[in-house]
Structures are given as C-alpha cells and as structure tokens.
Amino acid sequence: MADLKGLRGAGTALVTPFTSDDHIDEAAIKRLVDFQINGGIDFLVPCGTTGESATLTIEEHLHVVELVVKHTAGRVPVIGGAGSNDTAYVVTLAQEVAKAGADALLSVTPYYNKPSQEGLFQHYKKVAEAVDLPIIVYNVPGRTNCNILPDTMVKLAEIDNIIGVKEASGNIAQIAEIGMKVPEDFIILSGDDPATIPIISVGGVGVISVLSNQVPGEVSKIVKLCLENKYPEARKIQKKYIRLTALDFIETNPVPVKTSLSMMGLMEEHFRLPLVNMKESNKALLKQEMKNLGLI
C-alpha cells in the first residue's frame, strides 16, 4: 500500500473531456494533466463528481484513470474516484481502479439510499477490506443527501487504509470537531474552494479543488501559504479568484469549469446528458471574468 499519510497541498478534481461525438478525448486529458503538473499542482483526482463519473461506463472510468496514471508517470500522486450507492459495485470498481495504477482512492458516500451512520461505516469497511490502496472518504451532503457525522468519521479513521476525508459539508463546526477527534495523521482536505482557508485553520492540510482546473498554481499557493500560517497572503489570492470560484458554480458543476477550459483551448465544450451547455447569459459572465483575470 502506498504511503500517502503525509499527503498535503492542492489536488485537482479533474474534468473528463469528451469529443464532439461523445467519446473520451485522450489528447485533451494529456494536455490537462501536463497543464496541471506544470502549473504546480500536488496531486490529481480523476473520475470524481467533476469528472462526470456518474455518466461514465466502467470501461471509460478505468480507461480515464489508467490514461491519467500513465501520462502522469509518477510526477504526482493520482487518486482515482471509486464511489457509488451500491457497495458491491464500489468494491469491484475500487479493485479495478487499483489495477489501473491509482495511488489511492476517493470514494463518495452512497447517495439516494440515505444509509444510517452504521450503514455508512459498514459500506466503507467493506470497501477498505477489498483493496490495499489508501482510501479518502468524500463527504458531500449537498450532492448525496447523506452526511458522515464526526463520531462515524472517528470509527472510519481506525481502519488502517482509510487515511482521510474530503470534507464538503460546509459545516466548519463539524469539520473542526473531526479535526479534534481523529488521529493527528488523518488527512482532512477541503472539498469546497471557498472553504479551504477556514478548513486548514481548523486542522485541514489541503484541498481537492474545482478552481485548480483553471488556475492550479494559484490554488496550490493558497494552500501552501495557509500551511505556513500566512493567512493574509492566502486571502489576497483567494480574493482575486473569488468571483471565478462563484461562477464555476453558477450552473451545475462541471459545466462552467469545462466551458472555461474550452475557452482556454484545452478541450472541446461537450457534456453528457443530462448536463447541457451553459445559458448564453451565464457563459458571457464567465467569459468576461476569464478575460479580466487574463486567462483568455
């Protein structure tokens, strides 16, 4: 099992580029990986929510992870998405993502089923027993209608290969409580760009970011400054990108961020149903802010 307990910094929740005829755009994935690593990102996370994993076939999912792993070529760790609302399916997916070469797994809480806290614990325990890879739990109640409470997270932290959590509950008090109760080497990552600074202030060590698709270097700087207790300098950078951060969610993620990456010439502007292109009025706002920041 790879030792990622010292994982720190900024990771990108990578988008999945598609061609206009709805196939995986391999050339665009390679461009994005190079853009991220050259920009100074610390790790990559393909096939999460931002990667439109919900509409990828299992073959496509594994192909994307394998492609990112191969093109990254060990330059940074790759944490592959492996989540669903069916525990048996997640076990299979996690095993296959491990075979595809990922260094660790990011696994979202089961959605729609609305499991109890014991159900959540048993779900992750089953997945952890099925693979040797480190696992980062992903708590995003706004997407899943399911919240992992601090005491459940403490129980999960006792499982050897569950090494951390991507916290996107938006509840700073909950995240602070987790930070006080889990072992010191348990990794807490922000799952919301606007919350990165406060989460690091209560014990977090990084972020899995949407914004870093566009500005990997700047998001990485924010995290590094926070970890050095240089919060005023970090806030200056965050302030510069706060409107872009908001516009990235003016419509359902990842529609705005993929649209902006197409404006940057990194990929085609194509989505899988039920996601569709941005409203022209919103797209105009996004384009203007990209111009204001000198990104296009």
What are the φ and ψ backbone dihedral angles of 190, each rounded to 5 degrees? Answer: -70, 140
Set 70, 99, 138, 239: catalytic member: 138
- 81 contacts: CB under 8 Å, gap ≥ 6: 45, 46, 47, 48, 49, 51, 53, 61, 65, 97, 105, 106, 107, 108
**What angle (nearest 5°) sits at the alpha carbon of residue 197, between those of residues 244 and 143?**
65
pTM value is: 0.96
3-state secondary structure of 221: helix
Residue type, 219: V
Q: What would the pLDDT profile of 234-290 be if each residue is shown by its tens digit?
A: 999 999 999 999 999 999 999 999 999 999 999 999 999 999 999 999 999 999 999
138 is catalytic: yes
**Is 124 a known active-site residue?**
no
Contacts of 69 (CB under 8 A, 6+ apart): 78, 80, 100, 101, 102
pLDDT in tens, the chain (296 residues): 567 888 999 999 999 999 999 999 999 999 999 999 999 999 999 999 999 999 999 999 999 999 999 999 999 999 999 999 999 999 999 999 999 999 999 999 999 999 999 999 999 999 999 999 999 999 999 999 999 999 999 999 999 999 999 999 999 999 999 999 999 999 999 999 999 999 999 999 999 999 999 999 999 999 999 999 999 999 999 999 999 999 999 999 999 999 999 999 999 999 999 999 999 999 999 999 999 999 99
Q: Are 129 and 106 in contact (CB under 8 A)?
A: no
Which domains, and CATH codes, for the chain? 9-229 (3.20.20.70)
The 10s digit of each residue's pLDDT in 169-180 is 999 999 999 999
Q: Distance between CA 164 and CA 119 in Å, rounded?
A: 19
Question: Which is the catalytic residue, given 111, 114, 125, 166?
Answer: 166
CA 11 to chain centre: 7
